Amino acid sequence: MVIIDNQHRVSVISEALPYIRNFAGKTFVIKYGGASMTNDILKQKVIEDIALLNYIGVSPVIVHGGGPEINHMLERLNIKSQFHQGLRITDKDTIEIVEMVLNGKVQKELVGLLNQAGAKAIGLCGRDGNLMKAKKFSSDDDGLDWGFTGEIDSINPQVLYDLIEKKYLPLISSLAPDELGQIYNINADIVAAQIAIALKAEKLILLTDTPGILRDKNNKNSLIKSLNTESAKSLIEDKTIRDGMIPKVLSGINAINNGVGAVHILDGTHEHVLLLEIFSSAGVGSMLVK
């Protein structure tokens, strides 16, 4: 029994070796958010996976959200959360809480955990080194005021190149100022996609709370393991893809169309989902390709 177990372990490592060889020296942009950030065990597993990627020569760049933590704080302060098409509408009271939670609580904790795991993590937002500039989000909805919900106006990737060259692991919150210094809250999936494009990343990996893209949202066995950008657009049009999955998939399409190698949408509520998706032939989520 021990021999069989050891043989299985060796076969798993052997299967991973070609992937490790191919991805060494490549940049992966990982969007980390959702329920896995509120579960201490899952959080530790994600941190360990990211640290392992760093050890074997991959350059991870993390973009983090913090929706559950933000919602919890807003509830405590009796501030109502508003969403439209999967995006948070951020009023004046909400933006102050978002900045406090993301930069002051969530990011500092994640930096500490990554450093404990052996990485050299450093926390950033758009203000730091003029990394990102924002502008107010606009949509086709007439009369809808998005408040301080923003979108990316520009990115200065040199800040990240310098950190990666010195073996630091950048951890970026989805907040950025406009030209006048006003801070805006930007959907973390959108930020991650724009960072991946700016860095010419090999992969964009979006950790979420669902198995990936489902043909039937009520059936986890309807997972679409691989699809191209045209198929993804069709699934949005026929409303198979809806709600919070829309900005994820649109961000993925944008990334693919601008040179990112592949986009993976994974269920972050399962242990070691990053390693299973990247270093095995089976895959466990949805992969979007050209």
| pLDDT tens-digit readout, 83-104 | 887 788 899 999 999 999 999 9
Domains and CATH numbers, the chain: 22-72+94-123+168-174+186-289 (3.40.1160.10)
Average pLDDT over residues 52-73: 92
**What's the length of the chain?**
290
Q: Which residues pair with 63 in a beta bridge?
A: 31, 172
Q: Degrees (nearest 5) of the Cα angle 116, 192, 96?
A: 80
- Secondary structure (DSSP) of 139-166: -S-TT---BTBEEEEEE-THHHHHHHHT
Q: What is the pLDDT of residue 10?
A: 53
At 19 the pLDDT is 79
Cα–Cα distance list, 63 to 28, 32, 102, 174, 176 (Å): 11, 6, 11, 7, 13
What is the predicted pLDDT for the residue at 174?
95
**DSSP run (H or E) holding 20:** helix 2-23
Q: How confident is the model at residue 49 (pLDDT cuts 50, 70, 90)?
A: very high
Side-chain-side CA neighbours of 33 within 13 Å: the count stands at 26
Over the stretch 118-134, which tens digit does the pLDDT of each residue have?
Answer: 999 999 999 999 999 99
Neighbours of 267 (CB within 10 A): 21
Choose among 244, 246, 134: nearest CA to 180: 134
Provide CB contacts within 8 A for 51, sequence distance 6+. 114, 117, 118, 119
Mean predicted lDDT score pLDDT of the chain: 89
Category of 283 on φ-ψ map: left (φ > 0), alpha (ψ -120 to 50) or beta: left
Banded pLDDT at 12 (limits 50, 70, 90): low
Is residue 283 over pLDDT 80? Answer: no
- For 34: left if phi > 0, alpha if psi spans -120 to 50, otherwise beta; the answer is left
Q: What percent of the chain has pLDDT over 90?
A: 64
Residue in this structure with the two tokens 């350059």, named with its chain if needed: 59
What is the spatial distance between Cα 75 and Cα 101, in angstroms, rounded to a whole number? 13
Please state, as a whole number, how many other Cβ atoms lie within 10 Å of the Cβ of residue 15.
13
The answer on pLDDT for 271 being more than 90 is: no
For the residues 237-258, what does the mean pLDDT come to? 92
Burial (CB count within 10 angstroms: exposed 0-12, middle 13-18, buried 19+), residue 251 = buried
Beta partners for 59? 27
3-class state of residue 288 by DSSP: strand
Q: CB of 176 within 8 A of CB of 183?
A: yes
